[in-house]
Structure 1
C-alpha cells in the first residue's frame, strides 16, 4: 500500500506552499479511498511518495489515468490567496492503493526535488 502525490513542477512553488498543497492532496485522495484501503494504508504506516510532472496537462492526464484504473484520486486547485491564481491545479493525490496499481500510472515519474 502507498499513496503518491504528483506536483506540477512548472509552477515552481515555494517549499511552504508546495508542502501545503501536497498535504491537501494527501488528505483529499485518502477521503476518496474506500475504508478497507484506508485501513490497510494506516496499518502499513501511511507510506507516501511525492513525485513531479512537467505541466498542468500532464497532471490532468495522470488524474485521468488514475481514475480510469479505479484508483482514488483528487486534483488540488489553489484558493489563490498567495503565489498562484485561484483555481490553479497544483498537484494530484493518488491512492492509497496497492503499490503495483499506483506504479502502473506513476512509475515513470521522478521524485520531487
Structure 2
C-alpha cells in the first residue's frame, strides 16, 4: 500500500471516528403504570402490561416515533411502576400530560373476561421515548 493510499485510509477512518464520537447515546424506555388498588394477579398484570407494550409499539410505528429504533436496538428497556392513590383520576392526568408532552401513550381497559370488570382502566403505557422525558412525568412512582 502506497503512502497516499495509507493517508487516504487514515483520513477516512479518522472522519468515521469523529462522527461516531459526536453521536450522543440517547437512553430510551417504555414505562407502564399499573393500578395496585385492583389487586390483579401476577398473570393479569403481565397480560395488561403486554397489551400496553403492543399498543405503544403499534402507535410508534404508525406515528414514525423517532425513538423506536433506538429503543429496539438497545434492548427495549421497560419499567413497570405502581400507582395506588386516586388511581383512575391520576392515571388520566398522567396520560394527558404524556400526550401534551409529545410522547406516545396508551390506556389499557380490561375486557372483563377474568378478574376485573369490563372497561376498567388497568394500565397506562408511555414510550418508547427519551428516559429523561418520561421520568419528568412518572419519576415520583415506585417500582411494582
- 1:1-113 to structure 2, matched below 5 A, reads 1-33=28-60, 34-54=64-84, 55-112=87-144
Bigger relative CO (Cα 8 Å, ≥ 6 apart): 1
Normalising by structure 2, report the TM-score.
0.75
Secondary structure in structure 2 of the residue aligned to 1:51: strand
Normalising by structure 1, report the TM-score.
0.94
In structure 2, the gaps of 5 or more residues are: 1-27
| 4+ runs deviating over 3 angstroms | none
Q: Offset of 1:60 from its aligned partner?
A: 1.1
Q: Which has the higher strand share?
A: 1
Cα RMSD, aligned residues only: 1.0
8 Å Cα contact 1:37/1:96 also seen in 2: yes
| Structure number, greater radius of gyration | 2
Give the number of aligned pairs. Answer: 112
